[in-house]
Structure formats: C-alpha cells, structure tokens
C-alpha cells in the first residue's frame, strides 16, 4: 500500500531493510511502514512484528536414575526430564525498530536507528525446575514416590532437563549513519556505525545488588537502578554476551565490578564510490567486533577489519 511518494505501508509477511548491521531482508510477520516528508528531507521508518514463531516444547518423560557406588549401594538419585525426538522448542521472537533520517540521501542525509529483538518468555511452556512442572497441568512424574516429590519441592533445581531448557534472548542494535552524493550522485560516501548488546538468558531480569552479591562481586545501587531503567530496551544481567563490567580483586581478595565500555560490541562500515560511464571505483572499510550480534541478521561475519 502506498500513497504518492511519501507513504509506504506493508503488512503480513514483509522483508524490511534498515541497514546491513540491523536487519536486511529478513522475513518479519508484522508491518513495515515509512514516511518521506518535505521533499524526502525527513524520512521515517518503523518495523514491528514477529521474527520467529513459537515452537512448543514436546517433553517425553521424567526419569529417575539411581547413583550407585560399588555393587548395589544407592547413594543418590538424579531426576531427568527428557524431550521427545526433535521436541526442543523455541520462543516467539519479537522485533521492534525504527529509523529517522534528515536530508535527502542523494545529496546529504544523517540518520539514527535502533532495533530491539526479544523473546516472549510467556509464549511456550518451558520447564526450568520442578516447580514449573508441578504448577502445570502436564502429567509427568507418575513414577515419583512421596519422598522423591518432597525432595524436589525442597530443592527444585534437582530436576535437570536433558539437553538443557530453552533460554530466551534479548538483543539491541542501535547506531547512526550518513549518506552523501556529489557531482549528480556520481561520487558517493556512505558510513554507518552501530553498537549491539546481546543477552543469552533474560529470565531473571536486570542485575540487582543482591544477585551481584550472590555471584561474588559488588554492584552499587546507582548502577542497579540504571540497569532497571534500561530494561525496557535491553535486559542487562550476568548472561550478557559481553558484560559491561570488569571484575577486579583487591588486596584482601574481595571481588568488585566496575562499569566499562566494551569496544568489541561495535561495528562500522564506510564506503566511497565513483560511478562514471567508462570507469567505476569503490573503496570500503569494515570493522566488526568479535562481540557484535544482531538476532535479525545472522549472516554478519564477526571479528573483521580491513579494506576492500
């Protein structure tokens, strides 16, 4: 759906492109819309939808395995919840993003962009410990006796999920770009710089002072409050792909965490091109840190630096 040159609207299965580092042609079940105002000198784009649909976990059975020492001395028990073959599921993954650009890209344009990708933790039934299983309507563990149940209720983490439970992720990619054209657009210069943050398990929410203490280091209340305020964009906790903390040990052996900026989560691309009837020239420089991630663009090569 379009209205003149100033409004485009797509809904359903769409393939939006914002930039090579955020999302570029990945299928989204949702909407992609853009506005071009004042002779395309103000440009806005908005993306919202489902990046991946949910796939329900298919559990098989709850096994009780005896831990035997010697010939027949049972000293403990292991409790294992197994999947059916190919039964490990995945969360519904949602994406929200936008870009605003000022200026006409054929002359000079500067823009800012951000993309948030986060798994919906409520989209599937996912067992993390025995309490999740006991509070559900699923019928597993009919082979457990009363002592087994009491032991699991007292220590729910004794239940292991064979193959691991599914962990929800969160990702934020944000950056700025500019485009410039000279000599009737025969000479073009384009550049983009972005930063990413990836959380491999958002279940427990942002890092708190208490959880930091449980992990063995100190985080002050001011830092914890900042992480809470940022949680609507990205949940920051101990499961980050790259933690914005340096853990240091003082002379007494006490651990503490200090905030710092990890440059490995940055990426940049700059390109100069000249296009004439008989000659073309293109020079590109890319730098992508080893910790850079976009869940909406899995084809990005990481830990790259150089000219082409």
| C-beta separation of 115 from 24 below 8 A | no
Question: Where is average pLDDT lowest: 13-22, 74-83, 98-107?
Answer: 74-83
pLDDT at 151 over 80: yes
Instruction: Write down the pLDDT at residue 245.
Output: 63
| Mean pLDDT value across the chain | 91
CA dihedral (232, 233, 236, 242) in degrees, to 10, reads: 170
pLDDT at 172 over 70: yes
Instruction: Write down the pLDDT at residue 70.
Output: 76
Instruction: Write down the pLDDT at residue 162.
Output: 92
How sure is the predictor about 244, in pLDDT bands with cuts at 50, 70 and 90?
A: low
Instruction: Write down the pLDDT at residue 246.
Output: 64
Instruction: Write down the pLDDT at residue 69.
Output: 84
Query: What pLDDT, in 10s, does the model give residues 79-102?
Result: 999 999 999 999 999 999 999 999
- Three-state SS letters, 142-184: CCCCHHHHHHHHHCHHHEEECCCCCCCCEEEEEEEEEEEEECC
How sure is the predictor about 73, in pLDDT bands with cuts at 50, 70 and 90?
A: confident
Instruction: Write down the pLDDT at residue 58.
Output: 94
pTM: 0.88
Alpha carbon separation from 235 to 93, 176, 200, 206, 226 (Å, rounded)? 15, 22, 10, 5, 11
pLDDT at 248 over 90: no
Q: Give mean pLDDT, residues 237-246.
A: 80
Instruction: Write down the pLDDT at residue 27.
Output: 95
3-state helix, strand, coil in the chain (%, to 5): 10, 50, 40
Distance CA 179, CA 190 (A): 4
Query: What pLDDT, in 10s, does the model give residues 49-61?
Result: 999 999 999 999 9
**Buried/exposed 43-79: b ≥16 CB within 10 Å, e otherwise:** bebbbbbbbbebeebebeebeeeeeeeeeeeeeeeeb
Instruction: Write down the pLDDT at residue 18.
Output: 94
**In the chain, where are the structural domains located?**
56-89+127-165, 96-123+168-307
């Amino acid at each position: 759906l379009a209205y003149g040159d100033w409004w485009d609207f797509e809904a359903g299965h769409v393939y939006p492109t914002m930039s090579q580092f955020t999302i570029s042609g990945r299928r989204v079940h949702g909407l992609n819309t853009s506005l071009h105002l004042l002779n395309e000198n103000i440009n806005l784009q908005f993306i919202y939808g489902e990046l991946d649909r949910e796939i329900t976990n298919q559990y098989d059975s709850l096994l009780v395995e005896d831990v035997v020492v010697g010939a027949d001395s049972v000293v403990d028990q292991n409790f294992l919840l197994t999947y059916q073959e190919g039964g490990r599921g995945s969360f519904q993954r949602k994406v929200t993003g936008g870009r605003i650009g000022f200026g006409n890209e054929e002359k000079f344009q500067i823009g800012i962009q951000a993309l948030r990708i986060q798994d919906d933790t409520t989209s599937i039934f996912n067992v993390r410990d025995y309490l999740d299983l006991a509070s559900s309507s699923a019928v597993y563990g009919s082979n457990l006796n009363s002592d087994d149940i009491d032991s699991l209720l007292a220590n729910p983490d004794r239940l292991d999920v064979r193959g691991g439970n599914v962990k929800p992720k969160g990702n934020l990619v944000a950056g700025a770009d500019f485009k410039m054209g000279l000599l009737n657009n025969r000479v073009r210069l384009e550049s983009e710089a972005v930063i990413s943050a990836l959380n491999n398990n958002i279940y427990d929410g942002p890092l708190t002072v208490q959880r930091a203490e449980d992990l063995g280091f100190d985080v002050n209340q001011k830092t914890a409050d900042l992480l809470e305020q940022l949680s609507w964009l990205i949940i920051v906790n101990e499961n980050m792909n790259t933690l914005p903390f340096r853990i240091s040990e003082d002379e007494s052996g006490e651990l503490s965490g200090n905030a710092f900026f990890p440059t490995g989560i940055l990426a940049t691309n700059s390109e100069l091109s000249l296009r004439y009837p008989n000659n073309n020239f293109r020079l590109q420089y890319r730098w992508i840190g080893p910790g850079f991630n976009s869940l909406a663009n899995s084809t990005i090569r990481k830990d790259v630096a150089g000219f082409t």
